[in-house]
Structure 1
């Protein structure tokens, strides 16, 4: 009888299986490493764009509103930009210069430094906030100037008294202090102290203080049209009269 031998399939050796598993593991690790490296590269590529965006955001634009009647440091910055005397007071000359500047830059020439004009000038938001507050206070003073004059007018005829600070008798600085106190404004006691505490202006308006001398030896309240309210001396009661000299300065409370 013939006998046939049928060979059995041999099971793979342990060393062969281990090698395959090790190879698969290495491929997986390589794939993970490649993915991590790719993600890192993408992140590195995106980083400059993010930084650029943050940098652009960091450059704060101007968000204030500065116009005629405003004053302060930011007004001086504007005045330097438009080429006028930097006295910190936004008057008619500054407004006209701002209009010219806006026209040259292709902006709406309204003479008001708002967000677009301010940003174009390179002004900072912190400055604008400060100035907006000052501008608001200036506006309040402007509105109340007629009330200041009304109070001053009501005291005409009050006798002069050296050192006087009440309606029973005033000296010059006592009179101005009393009038402004009635409107919530505190002034120092002497004429010179008042001169130093106010903002000097070249274009006075009714309600500003008018000072004689530097150091100031006399002070009154400007009434407009070259006149003032003041408590003169023992020969002159509190009155409204013409300013008799051009050698005066003006201060805004």
Structure 2
């Protein structure tokens, strides 16, 4: 009788442990599911997830994935033994413990829609308001612009970060064969000059020491266009 009781007690105890273990396993699986990240966040993305990334890599959390954020992500990936490409995909995002990818997708779509509307109206309005600003080599403010300083300033007013030089801007944009107002106009490859396409064969640009910021005709067909 004692032996039987012991066996029964052991069986009951094992059953209790099994019953207790099951919820713990479910909890662990749930936590793992919550921790996984299936999005793709890269330069040009905007939104809440970008802010999460920026806080993780130690840069200003402004919600705009620009060149500085990309560089910081690369450094973080390298420290963690990941492929240092500056893109936050499933592996990097999960390693960072990002909460979700849904807001990223929505934010990126909103950003693209915003870019289209900005390109056709607000960017040109800002560019037009700066006509007459004097040319200044290395200038990046309304007290004086050079060509890439002008384009960077205009787009920054609309939440878009462009690299500093004309050639860097050429490489960072998507080349298009049918330009629309607001696209960037590049002269040369490597680019030695850049302006903002205004439509009808004209552009806004900060020319040189003899030409202040102005709207003028594009004087050559040897140009390429890039979309921000």
Q: For residue 159 of structure 1, report the CA deviation from its aligned partner.
A: 0.6
Change (3 A) 1:98 1:39: closer
Q: CA deviation at 1:181?
A: 0.7
- In 2, Cα distance between equivalents of 1:201 and 1:93: 25
Following superposition, the deviation at residue 74 of structure 1 comes to 22
Q: Give the secondary-structure state (helix, strand or coil) at the position aligned to 1:237.
A: strand
Change (3 A) 1:113 1:211: same
CA–CA separation in structure 2 for the residues paired with 1:201 and 1:192: 16
Q: Structure 2 vs 1, CA of residues 46 and 65 (structure 1 numbering), >3 Å: closer, same or farther?
A: same
Contact 2:48 2:104 in 1 (8 A): no
> What corresponds to 1:137 in structure 2?
112
> How far apart, in 2, do the equivalents of 1:210 and 1:233 lie?
16
Distance 2:164 2:171 in 1: 11
CA shift for structure 1 position 137: 1.2
Which piece of structure 1 moves more, 114-123 or 180-189?
114-123
Please report how far the alpha carbon of residue 27 of structure 1 lies from its aligned counterpart in structure 2 after TM superposition: 35
User: Contact (CA 8 Å) 1:70, 1:138: kept in 2 or not?
Assistant: no
Give ranges in structure 2 of 5+ residues lacking alignment.
none
CA gap of 1:248–1:93, structure 2 versus 1, over 3 A, is: farther
Shift of 1:133: 4.0
Answer yes or no: is the 8 Å Cα contact 2:45–2:108 preserved in 1: no
Q: CA deviation at 1:230?
A: 0.2
| Mean Cα deviation higher: 48-57 or 233-242 | 48-57
Q: TM-score, normalised by structure 2?
A: 0.53
Residues 35 and 98 of structure 2 are in contact (CA less than 8 Å); yes or no, is this contact kept in structure 1?
Answer: no
CA distance, structure 1, for counterparts of residue 85 and residue 172 of structure 2 = 33
Query: Per the alignment, do residues 188 and 106 of structure 1 end up closer, same or farther by CA in structure 2, a change over 3 Å counting?
Result: closer
Instruction: Quickly say closer, same or farther: Cα 1:79–1:138, change in 2 above 3 A.
Output: farther
Counterpart CA distance in 2 for 1:188 and 1:83 is 20
- Cα deviation, residue 231, structure 1: 0.3
1:123–1:179: structure 2 CA closer, same or farther, 3 Å change rule? closer
Q: How does 1:75-224 map to 2 (within 5 A)?
A: 133-134=108-109, 137-143=112-118, 145-224=120-199
Superposition RMSD on alpha carbons, in Å? 11.5
* Per-residue deviation, residues 125-167 of structure 1 (Å, max 9, x unmatched): 9999969945751454334531110110011011100000011
Deviation of 1:57 after TM superposition, in Å, equals: 23
**Structure 1: segments with no counterpart, 5+ residues:** 1-25
Q: Which residue of the partner structure matches residue 13 of structure 1?
A: none
Of 224-233 and 121-130, the range deviating more from structure 2 = 121-130
Number of residue equivalences: 228
Do the aligned partners of residues 236 and 73 (structure 1) sit closer, same or farther apart at CA in structure 2, a change above 3 Å counting? same
